[in-house]
Amino acid sequence: MTESQPYFTVSYSSLGTAETCWRKFELDKFYPRRERVFEDNYAADVGSALHAGFQDYLIHGDKDEAIWQLMRAFPFEAEYNQDNDYRSFEATLSTLECMFEEVKLNEYELAKIRRPNTPAELAAGLSGGVVVPAIEVPFELRFKGLNLPDGRGIAFTGFIDAVMRHYTTGRFRTLDIKTTRFHMSDATAKYKFNGQQVPYGIVVEHIAEAAVDSFEVLYLDSYIDLVEPDVKLYPFTKTQDDIREWVLNKVLQFQQMIRFSEMEFFPRTDGGCTFFNKPCRHLEPCMSRDKAAITEWFLLGEEPARQREEFFPWIVADLEIA
């Protein structure tokens, strides 16, 4: 693979799809799409608005400004078309106010990170990067030595909601904000072995500019509700052993993906094709194994959609796979 050749990127979310159905993963990742005029992602957009409000609060500590950022990001137009008010603006605001009370920085501060200059900044003659709070940190982990049949390497990408550092000990903690309408009195089992934040340790080492033996991961489980929002914080400690195990798990997944690509056969799940009691979005095209026919199904004679936004990672790490 040459440096100019793009990487095939995967994320925690897309690999979660692969774990449930490799065929669905293939249709999501290996086929083009046409431009969409409208896409109803109301639940995700509400979650993004909560992220925007709470992350602003972590940076500035100003509740009023955080509420304003929530309002700016909230999908009011889409709210009008919803069949229920479970994720209404009022319910979302009520939940944000609970989040304020649940997370206290106390002896921690937001970590700082020197992000690279954007193309626009470079064009303006700026260099040396920009020091910013470690909020919504984009990263890319490249698995060297693993390549698809077309020569592309494989990279794992993601965003870290927040990275914090202890004032005196220097210990790091990372935060992931989870918004949901599924209520659990105790979600420990949901998050204890969740691997989403484990690779964040690699990013933390880049921020620290030193090896980090262990770090803390926090899951902020936020049940959205107008009357009884429920926000709980679940902390766990992750070590270098956890990071090594995560890397091994990814290598095994990627080797399987490469093998399916070489065979030109991604197996379909035999456990049924529903997701949250709705039919899989690929139920119809999944009937065919003809690549040309599937491509035509997705494009319907239109040009493939352009990438909406170029991914600009602040941290890029090469993982040498023996």
Total domains in the chain come to 1
112 assigned to some structural domain: yes
**What's the mean pLDDT in 293-297?**
94
> For residue 38, what pLDDT is reported?
52
Predicted pLDDT at 1: 45
Over the Cα atoms of the chain, what is R_g? 21
Alpha helices, DSSP H only, in 104-239? 119-123, 188-191, 200-208
Prediction pTM value: 0.92
Q: How much is the pLDDT for 2?
A: 45
- Whether 83 has a pLDDT exceeding 90, the answer reads no
183 located within any domain? yes
Q: Which amino acid is at 105?
A: L
Q: Dihedral of CA 251/256/257/263: which sign? A: positive
Question: What does the pLDDT look like over 159-190, one tens digit per residue?
Answer: 999 999 999 999 999 999 999 999 999 999 99
- 245 is a domain residue: yes
Q: How many CB atoms are closer than 10 A to CB 154?
A: 25
Q: Would you say residue 1 lies in a domain?
A: no
Range of the domain at 77: 8-320
- On whether the CB atoms of residues 179 and 171 are closer than 8 A, the answer is no
Q: How many CB atoms lie within 10 A of CB 219?
A: 23
Q: Does residue 3 lie within any of the structural domains? A: no
Burial of 15 (0-12, 13-18, 19+ CB in 10 A): middle
Nearest Cα neighbor of 141 from 131, 129, 153, 128 is 153
Instruction: List CB contacts of 259: < 8 A, sequence separation 6 or more.
Output: none
- Asked if the model's pLDDT at residue 291 lies above 70, the reply is yes
Written as one letter, the residue type at 104 is K
Query: CA-CA distance, 92 to 50, in Å (whole number)?
Result: 7
For residue 304, the 8-state DSSP code is B
* Local structure of 62: helix, strand or coil: coil
**For the chain, percent of residues with pLDDT exceeding 90:** 84
Residue 88 lies in a domain: yes
| pLDDT tens, residue by residue, 11-49 | 999 999 999 999 999 999 999 988 765 566 899 999 999
Residue ranges in the chain assigned as alpha helix (H): 12-20, 22-29, 42-60, 63-73, 76-80, 89-102, 119-123, 188-191, 200-208, 240-263, 291-299
At how many degrees (to 10) do helices 240-263 and 12-20 cross? 60
pLDDT reading at 3 higher than 60: no
| Among the ranges given (149-163, 186-200, 308-322), the one the predictor scored with the smallest mean pLDDT | 308-322
CA distance 162 to 175: 5
Mean pLDDT of the chain: 93
Question: In a 3-state reduction of DSSP, which class is residue 166?
Answer: strand
pLDDT value at 309 more than 70: no
Q: Considering the domain boundaries, does residue 63 fall inside one?
A: yes
Give pLDDT tens digits for 192-213.
999 999 999 999 999 999 999 9
User: In this predicted structure, what is the pLDDT of residue 41?
Assistant: 86
What is the C-alpha to C-alpha distance for residues 143 and 152, in angstroms, rounded to an integer? 11
Residue 2 lies in a domain: no
pLDDT tops 50 at residue 129: yes
